[in-house]
Amino acid sequence: ATWVKGMRTNKDKMIKAVLPDCTADTEGVINFVNKTIQTKTKTYTTAQYCSRIAGIIAGTPMTISCTYAPLPEVIGCDVWTKEEMDTMAGAGKLFFFFDGEKVKLARGINSLVTTVQDKGTSFQKIKLVDLMDMMHDDIRTTAQDNYLGKYANSYANRCLLVTAIQGYLDQLAQEGLLEQDQNTAYIDVESTKIWLESNGKYTKAELADMSEMDIKLANIGSNVFIAVKASLLDAMEDVTVTIHI
């Protein structure tokens, strides 16, 4: 778990791991907790079955979640009450259960339970973290392979990268991964202002008098500040039906 956290935080590698009964409190670790796992031919430990859970997660299309994914080979598993299962889900535990007809995964969540301002409840969902990680890797690869070191750092060329990222967001929306018409890539004016002030290019008063375009056109060395607003589509999981008679 420590290695996974380090790879995501320090190495910029968006890896994830399924670990047995591990309260890691991070979006990079899925905490699998079933103790009783019986198939027709064998009984497994929690650790032994982590690879099966990882396979389910990895094999789930990005447009849906692993919530309620069936495990047809399992004929015996732990039995909990609804209240116990709700408590386990709230504690960031992934497990499967028997619903009266079949064994299936409960809510597709990772081990993150401590949310903060820039890492809210969306980071607790396996599906959404997979999507965020994919976007991170794809945008980084595009920048590294096609832009870094290959263009002068002018405003016009920065806009080329913004346009490429916007096209990528539009493609994800077409694939049903992002909400239509709610995703934007743009020059990050606020981050640009912070850099200009902290590097002594302009004072805070001078920046306040500058137009947004003046800030976008400023010489910022080799730095490129781009922001993205994206509306990630979750899977349909919480359904409330109100019947009026």
Q: What is the DSSP string of 151-206?
A: S---HHHHHHHHHHHHHHHHHHHHTTSB-TT--EEEE-HHHHHHHHHHTTSS-HHH
Indicate the pTM of the whole model: 0.92
CA-based max dimension of the chain: 74
Own/partner pairs, 92-100, CB within 8 angstroms, 24+ separation = 92/23, 92/25, 92/31, 92/124, 93/31, 93/32, 93/33, 94/18, 94/30, 94/31, 94/32, 94/33, 94/53, 94/126, 95/32, 95/33, 95/34, 96/34, 96/71
All CATH 3.30.1370.220 domain ranges in the chain, comma separated:
2-105
Mean per-residue pLDDT of the chain? 96
pLDDT tens readout for residues 77-134: 999 999 999 999 999 999 999 999 999 999 999 999 999 998 999 999 999 999 999 9
Give Cβ neighbours of residue 127 (< 8 Å, ≥ 6 apart).
60, 62, 64, 65, 66, 108, 234, 235
Give the tokens for residue 19: 């670990």
> Do 110 and 117 form a contact (C-beta atoms < 8 A)?
no
CA distance 198 to 111: 37
Provide the CATH topology of domain 2-105.
Ribosomal Protein S8; Chain: A, domain 1 (3.30.1370)
Q: What SS3 class is residue 53?
A: helix
- Output the tens digit of pLDDT for each of the chain's 245 residues: 999 999 999 999 999 999 999 999 999 999 999 999 999 999 999 999 999 999 999 999 999 999 999 999 999 999 999 999 999 999 999 999 999 999 999 999 999 999 999 899 999 999 999 999 999 999 999 999 999 999 999 999 999 999 999 999 999 999 999 999 999 999 999 999 999 999 999 999 999 999 999 999 999 999 999 999 999 999 999 999 999 99
Separation of alpha carbons 76 and 66, rounded Å: 20
Write down how long the chain is. 245
